[in-house]
Amino acid sequence: MFQELSSTMIIDEIKPTQKLSETEHIMMSRFANRFFLDREVDLDVITGILDAARYAGTGANVQPWRVYVTAGTAKLTLTDAISHAHAISAAEHSSEYSYLPDPLPEPFASRRREFGSIFFGSLGIAHDDIDARGANTARNCRFFDAPVGLIFTIDRRLEKGSWLDLGMFIQNIMLAAKARGLDTCTQEFLSRYHAVIRAELPLAPEELVVCSMALGFGDPHWAKRRPQMPKASIEEFASFHGF
Mean of pLDDT values over 230-234? 95
Give residue-wise pLDDT tens across range 81-102. 999 999 999 999 999 999 999 9
Q: Which CATH number fits domain 33-100+141-230: 3.40.109.10, 3.40.50.170, 1.10.10.10, 3.20.20.100?
A: 3.40.109.10
Instruction: Answer positive or negative: Cα dihedral of 226, 209, 200, 178.
Output: positive
- 212, 143 in Cβ contact below 8 A? yes
Residue 2 pLDDT greater than 60, yes or no: no
The secondary element (H helix, E strand) that includes residue 192 is none
Cis omega (within 30 of 0) on the bond before 103? yes
**Cα 145 to the center of its chain, rounded Å:** 14
For residue 127, the model assigns a pLDDT of 86
Predicted TM-score (pTM) of the model is 0.90
In the sheet with 207-216, reading across from the earlier edge strand, the strands are 65-71, 148-155, 207-216, 183-187
Residue 223 pLDDT greater than 90, yes or no: no
Mean of pLDDT values over 63-78? 98
Mean of pLDDT values over 19-31? 94
- Give the chain's radius of gyration (CA, Å): 19
- At 201, which amino acid appears? L
Residues 6 or more apart from 5 whose CB is under 8 A from it?
Answer: 227, 228
Q: To the nearest 5 percent, what fractions of the chain are helix, strand and coil?
A: 50, 15, 35
Give residue-wise pLDDT tens across range 167-197. 999 999 999 999 999 999 999 999 999 999 9
Cis omega (within 30 of 0) on the bond before 227? no
Task: Collapse the DSSP code of 36 into the 3-class scheme (helix H, G, I; strand E, B; otherwise coil) and give the result.
Answer: strand
Residue 150 pLDDT greater than 90, yes or no: yes
For residue 228, the model assigns a pLDDT of 86
Residue 10 pLDDT greater than 60, yes or no: no
**Cα 32 to the center of its chain, rounded Å:** 6
Residue 52 pLDDT greater than 50, yes or no: yes
For residue 16, the model assigns a pLDDT of 53
pLDDT band at residue 3 under the 50/70/90 scheme: very low
Q: For the chain, what percent of residues have pLDDT higher than 90?
A: 85
Give residue-wise pLDDT tens across range 100-149. 999 999 999 999 999 999 989 888 899 889 999 999 999 999 999 999 99
Q: Strand 148-155 relative to strand 65-71: parallel, antiparallel, unpaired? A: antiparallel
For residue 227, the model assigns a pLDDT of 81
